[in-house]
Chains A and B, each alone.
Chain A
């Protein structure tokens, strides 16, 4: 009971701290960026891809999901974790937090859960924005045929599973962002991991990077049966392992 109370209080504290910060905006901006880019590309050049008898949602959703999973998702998690941790680092607040009668693990767990929730919000937004953009294309460019088809189930499931496949990356970034006070380190790690993923994509070695698990999960397909759910399991296992290890390391850390 006390554990839940500690965690509840930790979450309530975090909820106040993110007021008037950019973290919520970033959680919406990142998916909006992907969808708007795909929307503009489809709007201006859709005649090349969409025509009678072709489901335009397949091409459009492919652009949104691959663009998100391969590039924007890892960079977004890196920036979001750095931005969120900066709320404490900028104010040298860890000394204050750790001098309060709150278990250190609950402070870390609350932060990790809030970051996870923010990333979850981004995936809800990604799905919502993609549906909205497809609907708008159907209105503005009816000859594309968006209004005649739907890919709602695939899009919503892809958003959910990619979110879970990104949990390993979230836990790693949260630890790095909490451990190092410099904004550059977590942001830089995320950026270079993304670039490394793009370069090594397709090679066997890339499967070991948690930053690539969302795209590995998709397996270049919008067919549910082709998706690799093993990466979701790996990601959740990495999340739990990294959360426990990160919490233990930070609990033992001296605060200067």
Chain B
């Protein structure tokens, strides 16, 4: 579904991505994990064509994003960092803007409102929404046009545990019952491991691990010595591996 081929990118002279080769299979929930500043958002902006990638390095649905931006984006729903909505408008009006952009049918607005549980708040101004409601509205915007692929940048940012659980339930449902492929970035493996099927771990612009979440779990034993800093062979968690890989463990 998404493939990058040795994708590198630099801000001026400062390299931020080093030869990233992502492989996101269709139907998967792919957790793209890394600490803040590791290159997740830059990768997502490249995938969406918001910053210009070198040609032939990014393929989505088998098409080069640079050459086929519009036809690719018709099948992609995205949420980038904080959900971008117009706070002076109602939830419904925000969705109407997205619907027009996607040339989707009028009924889609009600459908996505129901999917994210915002039907009763649709006429309220977004400035009155809680952060969780804004995140759900952001996901509703991404769902307009019935896209095959969802690219979500930190959709659980700033949410309380109940909000995180709600988003997680929604994304699993979208994948399992609606056949969506979900590419989701986060800096919290503990959150992601409860829903993702595949995982890619990025740190300082380098992809350190990529594979099935089960594969990471299976390889847990191999990390035991490396991760255990106190010399005691207690059970390590995926979070320990993630922190070890990303040098975040203090």
Chain A residues proximal to chain B, CB less than 8 Å:
5, 9, 12-13, 16-17, 19-21, 87, 91-93, 95-103, 252, 254-256
* Alpha-carbon distance between A202 and B48 when the two chains are bound, in angstroms: 51
Residues of B within 8 A of A87 (CB): 86
Chain B 65-78 near chain A by CB (<8 Å), digits 1 or 0: 00000110110101
What residues of chain B lie closer than 8 Å to A20, measured between beta carbons?
A: 88-89
Contact of B103 among A5, A19, A91, A103 (CB under 8 A): A5
In whole angstroms, how far apart are the Cα atoms of A100 and B101 in the complex? Answer: 6
Q: Is the CB–CB distance between B84 and A92 below 8 Å?
A: yes
Q: Which residues of B contact A19 (CB under 8 A)?
A: 88-89, 93
Asked if A9 contacts B101 (CB within 8 A), the reply is yes
Min CB–CB distance A4 → chain B (angstroms):
13
Q: Is B100 an interface residue when CB atoms closer than 8 A count as contact?
A: yes
B168 at the interface (CB under 8 A from A): no
Known contacts A16-B93, A16-B96, A255-B51; decide if A92 and B101 are in contact (CB<8 Å): no
Per the bound structure, the CA–CA distance linking A93 and B81 in Å amounts to 11
Chain A proximity of B82: nearest CB distance (Å): 7
- Residues in A with CB closer than 8 Å to B74 are 101
Most A CB within 10 A of own CB, among B45, B52, B74, B85: B45
Chain A residues with CB under 8 A of B78: 96, 99
Interchain CA distance A100-B74 in the complex, whole Å: 7
- Decide yes or no whether B245 CB sits under 8 A from chain A: no
B84 close to A17 (CB less than 8 A):
no
A252 to B45, CA, bound (A): 14
Minimum CB–CB distance from A116 to chain B (whole Å) comes to 20
13 contacts between A and B (CB under 8 A): A13-B100, A16-B97, A20-B89, A87-B86, A96-B141, A99-B48, A99-B73, A100-B73, A100-B101, A101-B103, A254-B45, A254-B51, A256-B51
Contacts of B76 in A (CB 8 A): 99
Given the known A-B contacts A12-B100, A13-B97, are A99 and B80 also in contact in the complex, defined by CB atoms under 8 Å?
Answer: yes
**Contact status of A21 and B88, CB under 8 A, knowing A9-B103, A101-B73, A256-B51:** yes
Residues on A with beta carbons closer than 8 Å to the beta carbon of B85: 91
Query: When the two chains form their complex, are residues B82 and A103 in contact, meaning their CB atoms are under 8 A apart?
Result: no
**Residue B218 is within 8 A (CB to CB) of chain A in the complex:** no
Query: Which of A17, A98, A101, A103 is close to B86, meaning CB atoms less than 8 Å apart?
Result: A17
**Which residues from chain B contact A252 at a C-beta distance below 8 Å?**
52
User: What chain A residues lie within 8 Å of B162 (beta carbons)?
Assistant: none
Q: Please measure, in the bound complex, the distance between the C-alpha atom of A101 and the C-alpha atom of B86, giving whole angstroms.
A: 19
Looking at the assembled complex, report how far the CB atom of A163 sits from the nearest CB atom of chain B, in whole angstroms: 28
Is B89 a contact of A92 with CB atoms below 8 Å? no
B87 at interface by CB-CB < 8 Å: yes
Contact pick for B82, options A12, A16, A92, CB 8 Å:
A92
Q: How far is the CA of A41 from the CA of B141 in the complex (A)?
A: 53
Count how many chain B residues have C-beta atoms less than 8 Å from C-beta atoms of the other chain. Answer: 31
What's the least CB distance linking B2 to chain A, in Å? 15
Residues of chain B within 8 A (CB-CB) of A17 are 86, 89, 97
Rounded to whole angstroms, the CA-CA distance of A21 and B87 in the bound complex is 11
B98: A residues at CB distance < 8 A: 100
Return A20 CB to nearest CB of chain B, in Å.
5
Q: Which residues of B sit under 8 angstroms from A9, Cβ to Cβ?
A: 100-101, 103
Q: Which residues of B contact A16 (CB under 8 A)?
A: 89, 93, 96-97, 100
Looking at the complex, which one of A91, A95, A96, A100 makes contact with B102 (CB distance below 8 Å)? Answer: A100
Q: Does B50 contact A (CB under 8 A)?
A: yes
Q: Which residues 48-63 of B sit at the A interface, judged by CB distance below 8 A?
A: 48-52
Q: Kindly state the separation between the CA atoms of A19 and B93 in the bound complex, as whole angstroms.
A: 10
Q: Closest A-chain residue to B71, C-beta based? A: A101
Chain A residue contacts of B97, Cβ below 8 A: 13, 16-17
Q: Which residue of B lies closest to A98 (CB)?
A: B50
Neighbouring B residues of A103 by C-beta, 8 Å: 70
Residues in chain B near residue A100, CB distance under 8 A:
73, 98, 101-102
In angstroms, Cα B98 to Cα A20, docked, is 18
Residues of chain A contacted by B81 (CB below 8 angstroms): 95
A11 (CB) vs chain B CBs: closest residue: B100
| Contact between B101 and A254, CB atoms less than 8 A apart | no
By Cβ-Cβ distance, the 3 closest A-B pairs, closest first, are: A96-B84, A100-B101, A101-B73
The residue in chain A whose Cβ has the minimal distance to the Cβ of B41 is A256
State how many angstroms separate the Cβ of A253 from the closest Cβ of chain B: 9
Chain B CB within 10 A, most for which of A9, A95, A100, A102: A100
- In the bound complex, how far is the Cα of B78 from the Cα of A254, in angstroms? 17
Q: A95, B84: Cβ atoms under 8 Å?
A: yes
